[in-house]
A = this chain, B = another copy of it.
Amino acid sequence: MKTSEEETGMKKATAQDIRERLAALRDAMREEGVDYLIIPTADFHNSEYVADYFRERQYFSGFSGSAGTLVVSQNYAALWTDGRYWVQAENEMKDTGVVLMRQGAPEVMSILDFLVSNMIPGQTLGFDGRCIPYAKGKEYKDALKKKGIQIAAKKDIGDKAWKKRPSLPCHKLFLLGEEYCGESCTDKLTRLRAVMQKKGTQYYVTSKLDDICWLTNLRGRDVPENPVALCHMLVTMDTAHLFLQEKEWTDETLAYAQKSGINAHPYDEFGVFLKDYMFNGNVLMDPSEVSYRIYSIVKKNIKTTSFGIVNADSPVALMKAVKNETEQKNIRDIYLEDSAAVCRFIYWLTHEADIENITELDAAKYLDNLRSKINGYIELSFGTIAAYGTNAAMMHYDPAKQTPAKLERKGMLLVDSGGTYFRGTTDVTRTTALGPVTDDMKKSYTLTAAGNLGLENAVFIDGCCGRNLDILAREPLWKVGSDYKCGTGHGIGFVLNVHEGPHGIRWRFAGEAAETKIVPGMIVSDEPGVYKEGEYGIRIETILLCVPAFETADGTFYKFDPLTFVPLDRTLLDKRYLTDEQIREVNEYHALCRKKLLPFFTDQTMRSWLMEQTEEL
């Protein structure tokens, strides 16, 4: 699904190209009377991943990483990006004149502080109001207003200076039948309206792609590896308005939408429609999700009435996170098939592959090919990460983006991968020994496994959120002074984005959203790891489904069912680092893998392999 970078010509930019592009951009800024311009990495929907059409920040900076914000004035340009990308950004922006701001480093100012320090009264800050959520835009506006600085958010100034801009992605929609998703669009809208009413609102405005796709049972292909369509939506108590490029509709999807009471409108008419809409009640919006432009339009429209805006987290995010029975059944099924493919891959890797003559990318392709043969396969849920040796210490390593490393018969290969199928979206990581490993590797792997199983075997009372549970995955690693610098787990969409909120498993406070309680029907990843820079990286990721445990006089308790059934690597497990309880948990998980996967292997080779791998420790 990914549009290759060569096609759009984005990768070919030299430092000279960037300097010329910035010069053209500055001309456009002068014409518009904008002194400083913010260019984020964002589409109109606050999506995690964006299509090439939206890679304006890359076009003007040369930096191709997935996260970063460019700020340009007439005589200065700087790019903020986080620690994952400092090396890459420095290389890609060499000689372009763009200064790298190492976001998160103690000496580096935030963008807002930078603007407050450098802009002077009477100046104007510009950004495309469609690409910045309202909450963020308002933060800029409020802070700069005090200094007498104006905001210009109505134009995409970069567009004027962008030669050969890729076109807006536009792919045909498809319908996710109710045999897969288990609930009609009509019923979902009814549930949503009940929440709207409970919050005292009569309208819901959203631009969140996966929320809208979930609500309508429609799917698209407009974002690489996320099966969503570019769209916006207004839901009222008796109508629903969906804004979508007209060419994306098929007869089937249009019929389904109409039957569900949805009115189709052109994608680019959302703002105009809202501007003139007669709101007759309060409007529910999530200011951290709806764009500055759209939110402002609604705010202005409603100002003259006695109604108002109710700010709240997206109610759809929570509805979507709790999978229904049909979805759960489909997910359980597809994870078995997906796990079987991963097992076949591991068998190939450890028994058949010509290790010395293949690269990380070859390994990834072998696995991708196995997945593509699974019934109902749509696409990968993200680009397969196959990271060998020291590469695995980089959490976001992508072998397709650099020269892939050659494999050797020693050390470990980390493979993080998943597929999008009609029966669900998968995600799994296993780390596999390719030959001799050090005792330290075994220790790290074993303690990672202990943490992974610690969370998998959690029992917890109703009300717990990810912050309460996270330590179960980390404690074995913390006890030896090891910590992974990321969350332990994320939600996963159903034939939607592989990363999905509102819940998650992490220990740090990250706003109210991170406080979402984990309830039956929610899916979370369980992926502790050890990352030793310059040495190796280990991650074990099993996907868990929250299910009821029991009810007692003291309350209602929940637990997790694993969905992933890929045995741990026995050659990397060292009993010396496990308690008897942890050994029992390994054996229990392996017994489950054996029971669940054996029916999928008809060939004696794989059956024998599975039996061996799931022997008691």
Contacts and interface: CB of A to CB of B under 8 A. Distances in A.
A480 to B, nearest CB: 8
B464 A507 contact: yes
A326 to B, nearest CB: 29
Contact of A481 (B469, B470, B472, B557): B557
A554 interface: yes
Interface size grouping (class) on chain A: 35 or more
A17 interface: no
A584 to B, nearest CB: 9
Contacts of A509: 465, 515
Given A481-B552, A507-B464, A579-B581, A475 B475 contact: no
Nearest to A476: B459
A461 B478 contact: yes
A509 B508 CA distance: 13
A508 B468 CA distance: 8
A580 B583 CA distance: 11
| Highest count of chain B CB atoms <10 Å: which of A464, A468, A482, A553 | A468
A467 interface: yes
What number of copies of this chain does the assembly contain?
A: 2
A51 interface: no
A479 interface: yes
A554 B459 contact: no
A507 B468 contact: yes
Nearest to A530: B554
A463 B579 contact: no
A23 interface: no
A10 B167 CA distance: 82
Q: Which of A461, A515, A580 has the most CB of B within 10 A?
A: A461
A355 B385 CA distance: 69
A129 to B, nearest CB: 32
Nearest to A454: B475
Interface in A547-581: 549-555, 557, 579-581
B483 A555 contact: yes
Nearest to A463: B508
A471 interface: yes
A458 interface: yes
A422 interface: no
27 contacts: A458-B475, A459-B478, A459-B479, A460-B471, A460-B478, A461-B474, A461-B483, A463-B508, A464-B471, A465-B509, A467-B468, A468-B470, A468-B471, A468-B507, A469-B471, A471-B471, A472-B475, A478-B557, A481-B549, A481-B550, A481-B552, A481-B554, A481-B557, A482-B554, A483-B555, A580-B580, A580-B581
